[in-house]
Every structure is written in structure tokens, then in C-alpha cells.
Structure 1
Amino acid sequence: MTTRTIVITGGAGILGQAVARMAVATGYQVALIDRAPIADDDSLVGHRRLGRVDLTDSQSAGNAFADIASEFDGIDVLMNIAGGFIWETLDGGAVESWQRMFAINVQTAVTASQVAMPWLCKSPAGRIVNVGAAGAVKSDAGMGAYAASKAGVARLTESLSRELLGKVTVNAVLPSVLDTPTNRADMPDADPTDWVAPDDLASVMLFLASEQARAVTGALVPVTGRV
């Protein structure tokens, strides 16, 4: 394929790194963005790593995306992976937790999508792929703040897919539990083979970014393993 540029938010995390490695192997030019520093990786030599970017702030995000677009002559794909999780019941919990989940999971995707939009709309194959959650469809105790924010990502996906219809496809994946060291530590009695491997989720996301998925937009794709 013609070399295309993919921007991955949450690039310091497990899923962001998995998507980046797979994207490089597929032939993309890759730019990773995160609020945290992004570790060096030999597989990403020649690609961009931009740490300490506040994706809730339009100016910080805008500067980062403009820098990427200038170096790579545009942006074709945006992977909105930046996000976070909290388990907290409402009884005894903090209202601020709901605000924090909204900022981390929804506002980052909104800001990144808005600042990237001019370049995505110029691309012959503009793509946005968001990370929602299966828990936003059916939540559980202690999942309220997280599930509500991820439901916001789903509604953003649907709305933006209509706004950009014919210009940019906008889809989301809805994973269950991702197999990460943190989740293994938090749930030591669970069987991680039932969970979703980061590489498996990355494969679905890159399919949605591909030319083969050009007719797919507004989709919320469950990726739930055996959960």
C-alpha cells in the first residue's frame, strides 16, 4: 500500500505499543502520543514518539498533531487508545471519579479527533478507530463511572461517523478484559486465556483502518474473547 501515517494516542500503554508494532510491520508511518513518557523501542526507530502531551487540552494536542502532520505530510489514521479505568462504587465513592473518567476516556478522544480532522478529511482514506468497552453495553457494580465514560465513546463514534460520512470512517472496538500485567495482578484467580490479547485487539483495529474496511463506519465491534 502507499505509505500512510497513523497516530496512536495512549502510545505508552500495552495496547498502544501492540498497535504500533503491528502498524510498523504493515508499513505505516507511526506517531505515538501519550501524557506519560514513551519508552524507546528498537522496532519504532524512524517513527515519532511524543510524550507529555495533554490530550484534554486543545492547544497541547493541536501542537503535537501539527508537528506530526508537518513531518509526515499529513495524517491518515487516528487510533484513540488513550484512556483509563477505575473500579469504585457510588456509595463511598467520589463524584470527581466520574469527571476524571470522562476526561481520560471521552475528552481525549474528542480533542484528538477534532484537531486531527483537517488532515484526516484530506486523506483519500481517513480513518478514526476508538476504544470503547463491552462493559459500556452491560455494566456491573463499581463500573458506573468507567462504563458511563465508555458509553460516551460509543455515542461519539456514532455521531462522528454521520458527521464525517463520505470523508472519514469512524468505528470503535468494544473489548472485554485486556490481558495486561495490571489486570493479571488485580485478578490473580482469573484465567487470562479467556481475556483479549493486545495483539488480537490490535488486529481488529488495524482492519478497521484498512482499505478492506472502507465500507464500515459507525460500527461498535465487540472483541470479547471468552469473557
Structure 2
Amino acid sequence: MELKGRVVLVTGGATGLGREISLDLAKQGMSVVVNYSRSEQDAKDTVEQIQALGGEAFAIRADVSTRLEVNNMVDSIIEKLGRLDAIVANAGTTVFRAFEDIDGVSEEDWDRIMNVNVKGAWLLAKAATPYMKKQGAGRIVITTSVAGIRPTGSSLPYSVSKAAAIHLTKGLAKGLGPEILVNAIAPGLLDTRWTRGHDPKTIDAFIKNSPLQNIPSLEDNAKQVRGLIETDSMTGSIIVVDSGTTL
């Protein structure tokens, strides 16, 4: 898919990896819709950065775990920009609990993580599919995690949700072709404000245990997302960007 002149929705696009993806795609000439749930000022800042580059962007608030809000968001994009060519389902949430701390995860925690990380991507695909099919082409890229490949990460429900997101990617790819290609990236630990705010020591530990002795950059992950939007020959693929830690 040629990126210039196309429209992309990046959920969770206001901060961290989502912001990097939004900026990278804007540099390729895409009009970027920056979705946020709570980070309104960060979303405005991301839009301003894109506009400073000469790109087109606007921010829109929606909780991706809520069907009505997702449907309204997609309809608003079509109404405003006339099309929707790609979705990067990047919004996610978690809690920090040791895997053995079963009692530490509440039912509310479990439901919220599954609703955002899995149901949210499904709702986005469901809402966008009619428009993308009508256009004759579309791309969906889901942000999963190495925690979905092996039981690791911030908590058991997070790991399970990312495993489900990987299977969702493959299932959507099977069901939505040939017009819509669905792929995913599975980052390792990322050096973000959120990660450093929780426990900066985890970054040093990751680097020490990585075969490449580094941490996957936001820029490299964003490039992989870009490639999965550009591709015409990949669907159902999971691109692991983890400096080799899952070897």
C-alpha cells in the first residue's frame, strides 16, 4: 500500500510507542488520527508535532473497549476525512502483579485488561471492515507483546491478553482477506516514560539479558509497523522486536 495521502488511526497514539508510530507515519505522508482515552494533552501535543512537520492530524477521544465509542470514532473519521485505510490497534492496559499472586488480580482488573487489549482490537476491526472492504483495501496492525509468546510481563492477565491478541491477529487475517491484511508486532520491553516510572531497573536487566545487549527502540518498532502497512504480501504475521530475548 502506498502511504502518501492515506488515512491511519493509531489508538493509544498520544504517548510512548503510539506517539512514535503516529509521527513516523505522518512523515510518510499519511493523515493521522491520534486516539486517546485519558491523555488529552499528550494527544494534542502529538498532533501539534505532526502539524509542525507539515502533516495532517487530529485527536479523538474514545475508549476502545466500548462498542459505541469505537463505532462513533470510526464514523467520525470517515465523515471528516472520507476514508480509513489503516488501523494501528496500539491501545493497551495492565496491572503489575507477580504471576503467583493470583489473589492480587481482581476480576475488575482481568475484565479491563481483556476488554482493552483484546476486545478493543476486535471492535476496531469490526467497525472498520465495511469501509475498508468498500474501498477495496485496508491494513490492520495490532500491538501485541513477547508476553503473549511466553508467560512473562507485568501480570498474568496481561500475558494472556497478548496471547489472545496474537491469535486474534491470525483469525482476522484468515477472515478478512484478500482486501484487508492483518498483522502484528510483538515488542519486548520498551524504554518509555511508563516503563521508567514503574521500575527503571527492569530496563537495565533487560539489556543485560538480551543477546544484542540493547533494548528495542521505539523508532525500530514504528518502522516495523510502517512495513506492515506498506506490505502487499504478508498477513497473519507476528513481527517480534525484542533484541533476541525470546530465543
Matched to 1:16, the amino acid is G
Q: State yes or no: 1:182 paired with 2:194.
A: yes
**How far apart are 1:226 and its partner, in Å?**
4.9
Give 2:21's match in structure 1, choosing from 19, 34, 37.
19
Q: State yes or no: 1:73 paired with 2:82.
A: yes
**How far apart are 1:107 and its partner, in Å?**
1.4
Give 1:40's match in structure 2, choosing from 42, 45, 50.
45
Task: Quote the Cα distance in structure 1 between the aligned partners of 2:66 and 2:105.
Answer: 27
Q: State yes or no: 1:200 paired with 2:212.
A: no
Task: Quote the Cα distance in structure 1 between the aligned partners of 2:135 and 2:243.
Answer: 33
Q: Which runs of 5+ in 1 are unaligned?
A: none
Given the superposition, is the C-alpha separation of residues 139 and 217 from structure 1 closer, same or farther in structure 2, using an over 3 Å criterion? same
Which deviations, in whole Å up to 9, do the C-alpha atoms of 1:166-191 show, x marking residues without a partner? 11000011111011022123333332
Task: Quote the Cα distance in structure 1 between the aligned partners of 2:197 and 2:18.
Answer: 20
3-state DSSP of counterpart to 2:102: coil
**How far apart are 1:214 and its partner, in Å?**
0.8
Percentage of matched positions with identical amino acids: 25
Matched to 2:175, the amino acid is E
Cα pair 1:90 1:142 within 8 Å, conserved? no
Count of aligned pairs between the two proteins: 224
Cα pair 1:195 1:226 within 8 Å, conserved? no
Deviates more, 1:179-188 or 1:22-31: 179-188
Matched to 1:149, the amino acid is S
**How far apart are 1:77 and its partner, in Å?**
0.4
What TM-score do the two structures reach when normalised by structure 1? 0.91
**How far apart are 1:139 and its partner, in Å?**
0.7
Q: State yes or no: 1:221 paired with 2:223.
A: no
Runs of 4+ deviating beyond 4 Å: none
Given the superposition, is the C-alpha separation of residues 99 and 12 from structure 1 closer, same or farther in structure 2, using an over 3 Å criterion? same
Give 2:178's match in structure 1, choosing from 166, 171, 174.
166
Which deviations, in whole Å up to 9, do the C-alpha atoms of 1:135-194 show, x marking residues without a partner? 111113863110111111111101110101211000011111011022123333332763
Partner of 2:211: none
What TM-score do the two structures reach when normalised by structure 2? 0.84
Given the superposition, is the C-alpha separation of residues 60 and 226 from structure 1 closer, same or farther in structure 2, using an over 3 Å criterion? same
Partner of 1:150: 162
Deviates more, 1:190-199 or 1:201-210: 190-199
Task: Quote the Cα distance in structure 1 between the aligned partners of 2:241 and 2:156.
Answer: 20
Cα pair 2:153 2:159 within 8 Å, conserved? no
